[in-house]
Structures are given as C-alpha cells and as structure tokens.
Amino acid sequence: MATVTSTKTAAKPGIGPGWPKPPGKNGSNGNGRKRFGGGKRFSKDTYRITVWILMAAIVMMFVALASSYIILSGNEGWRPVRMPRAFMVSTGLILISSITMTAARRQVRQGQRRKYQGWVLLTLLLGIAFVVSQIQGWQQLVAAGAFMSGNPHSSFYYLFTGAHGIHLLGGLTALTYLALRSGQVLVGEANEKRMAAIDAVTLYWHFMDGLWVCLFLLLWLWK
C-alpha cells in the first residue's frame, strides 16, 4: 500500500490546480514560466491585483473624508456653497473619458493598434481637459467668495477636488506612458505585459471616474 501512495504522490506531488507539471531541469517551474535567473517572473495578475489593493486603500481614505463631510454637514456653521458650473463640465468630461478608455481597450484586444493609439490619446486629452476644468472650478469658487479657509463646505470643495486630483495625476502618468509606447509593436510576453498594463490602467481610470462622480454628487446634493 505504501508504495502505491508514494508513486502516486511522486507523479502528482500534492499541489494546487495552478501547477500542472513537475519542475523541469532548466529552471522552468512547470507551467511554462521561467524563474530565478530565467528572468520571466511576470504574471499577468500582478497588475490587476495591485490596482485592486490600491483602490481599497484609496477608497478607505475617501470614505474617511466623506464621513467627515457628512458628519460636519449637520453642524452649526455649515453654509452650503453653490456647485460651480465648471465641475459639471468636468463630470461630463471624465464620464466620456471612461468610454474612450473602454474603446481603447477593446481595440487593442482585437489587434487594432492604430485605433487603440487614437483612443488612448483621446482619453489622455480628456483627462487633461478634466484637470483644466477642475482648476476653472476653483477659479469660479474663488470668484463666488468661497475659499479654502472659512466654512467647512467650501473647504471640502477644495479638499475633495485636490485629493481626487492628486490620485488622478497617477492615472494621467500611466496614460501618458501607455500613449508614448502605443506606437510600438510588441510580441510575446512584452505584449502580454502591455495588455495587462492596459487592463490595470483601464480599471484605475474607471475608478477615478466613479470616485469623482461620488464626490461630485456628495458636494452637489448633500448640503
């Protein structure tokens, strides 16, 4: 009996489903990915997992800030500030940019590199337009006499837009990187890696969009 068990386990050493074959002698780990000196340690899940984890952290920070907003909105001294028009424009811009980013991702998946390049550039431009429009929003706030100091509602306008803007800059940097490299023809793992990066950036960009819409609705409707 003992021999039967041992041959069984030798052929299929008690391992989970992600590891189909026993290790090869050339440093391959058994499912085609070389490791340790082979250099190929890339797993396409890495970026996606990382962005999800990152989003969890960012959500926690904005949940803290939004809870503060909701608590203070019931306080004495809370004077609602009118939503500047520019922020409505920005909301439109970033919603559209989410659609263009989805289009870019779809094109690259279908192998349409030129079209992908166009969509990704358009997304980048929309992202920059969003930032410009946010700055205009600040100018309109200042023109209306709502400053960072003073009553909490006007402070929250600057805080939310500023904090969101800093996180958005990360997304813009990633988009710029994708746009700069969008002309290159990549094959094999390099291509796989780019696809994973595009997936991750798309995810993050949608997140930035959704986050802004939440903040916008909070500032606009919860006063």
* Smallest separation, CB 25 to other proteins (Å): 11
Q: Toward other proteins, which CB reaches closer, 58 or 124?
A: 58
Distance, in Å, from the CA atom of 62 to the CA atom of 104, rounded to the nearest integer, reads: 28
* Smallest separation, CB 93 to other proteins (Å): 26
Q: Toward other proteins, which CB reaches closer, 63 or 92?
A: 63
Binding site for other proteins (CB under 8 A): 2, 5-7, 9-10, 13-16, 19, 23, 27, 29-30, 35-37, 39-43, 45-46, 49-50, 53-54, 56-58, 60-65, 67-68, 71-72, 75-79, 148-152, 155, 159, 163, 184, 186, 189-190, 193
Are 206 and 98 spatial neighbours (Cβ–Cβ below 8 Å)? Answer: yes
* Smallest separation, CB 174 to other proteins (Å): 15
* Smallest separation, CB 213 to other proteins (Å): 19
Q: How many CB atoms lie within 10 A of CB 107?
A: 18
Exposure string over 9-48, b if 16+ CB within 10 A, otherwise e: eeeeeeeeeeeeeeeeeeeebeeeeeeeeeeeeeeeeebe
Are 185 and 87 spatial neighbours (Cβ–Cβ below 8 Å)? Answer: no
